[in-house]
Structure 1
Amino acid sequence: MPCCWDLAGVVAAGARGLERHPLDSGPAFAFCHLVRSPSMSARATAFASRWGLAPGRVAAEALAQWAQLWTLRNVALFTLLAALAYGIQAVVFAVLCTVLRLPLQPAVALEIFVNATLLGAASMVPGGLGTMEASLVFQLMAQGAKKADAVAIAIATRCITRWCGVFIGPIAFTGVCMRTRPSKL
């Protein structure tokens, strides 16, 4: 429910901003303009025609690009890369459990990590933050780990697996921005 309020706030702020800066100043305000209008489809058509776009043609082009991306080869590649990424995270978790000398078999450590990941995803919290850690702690304690060890493993797992990836993102984005000319942004 809090996500709905966040979205409503963003839309309201965008609509308020449109009152001060009309849509004609650029296409960046299109979404908020459409949301605040009484007739979204009429506004969408008017907006698209103003920019020389036919909504049907735009949709067809978007679907064509989507179809090019989701070929069987790419789906297989994306699936393999995702399995590799989650597998590495599970291995990191198992290694941390081993370092703290928890009596867990690798298959049990994998099961705990997968359960926590799925629970974090089901919680609908971005990144499963909080939910995944709690799940890791409770499952480790059920396997006989002390609370302090379980919390330490959960925090270390998330710091290594989640936040390293988050910090790599801005570095990669900076590299893309440096290679792209400003006219293409």
Structure 2
Amino acid sequence: MQNISYVYSLMGRNWVSGLKPAKNVGSKTAAIIERLISETEGKTLVQVAEFESQVISYKSKKILSKPCGIKEPEKTYTIVTNYVRDPKVKAWVLKEANGRCECCEVGAPFTTAEREPFLEVHHLRRLADGGSDTVSNAIALCPNCHREIHYGVNKTTLANSLYKKIARLVHE
């Protein structure tokens, strides 16, 4: 079960409750688990976990020679599910944040071409998991905090702290 949690973490998702991700899952095993998750959920296989587990494996080698790379990467096509969102929700959350990350409270890392502070709106309960597109489920984050809440080892603790910190958020 810890292997499943590990693959969920590579996919940027919450792992199985109470089962901290295992760290010794090979890329082939990760690929199989990711395929089974996709089949079980009736979703298109994206192959994120296999790629990321290979990256981790290569990074762990003492000596890693400079790779040639792929001059003409192969293209793949997938079906993507998009969710219709309310632009007023995103606008309100960004306006409420006033140019500051609602997690770390640091100002936006840069200004966009529209002369707006750049922050990303994140749904604490993912839309794909039945979360709502409402101000009680959305927060404005800097890119670093956004990646951490998806991939960080303490992402659940971080999300729970945001529910306590920001009064408008409702745990769905």
- State the TM-score, normalized to the length of structure 1: 0.27
Greater helix fraction, Structure 1 or Structure 2: 1
Structure number with greater CO (CA < 8 Å, separation at least 6) is 2
Greater strand fraction, Structure 1 or Structure 2: 2
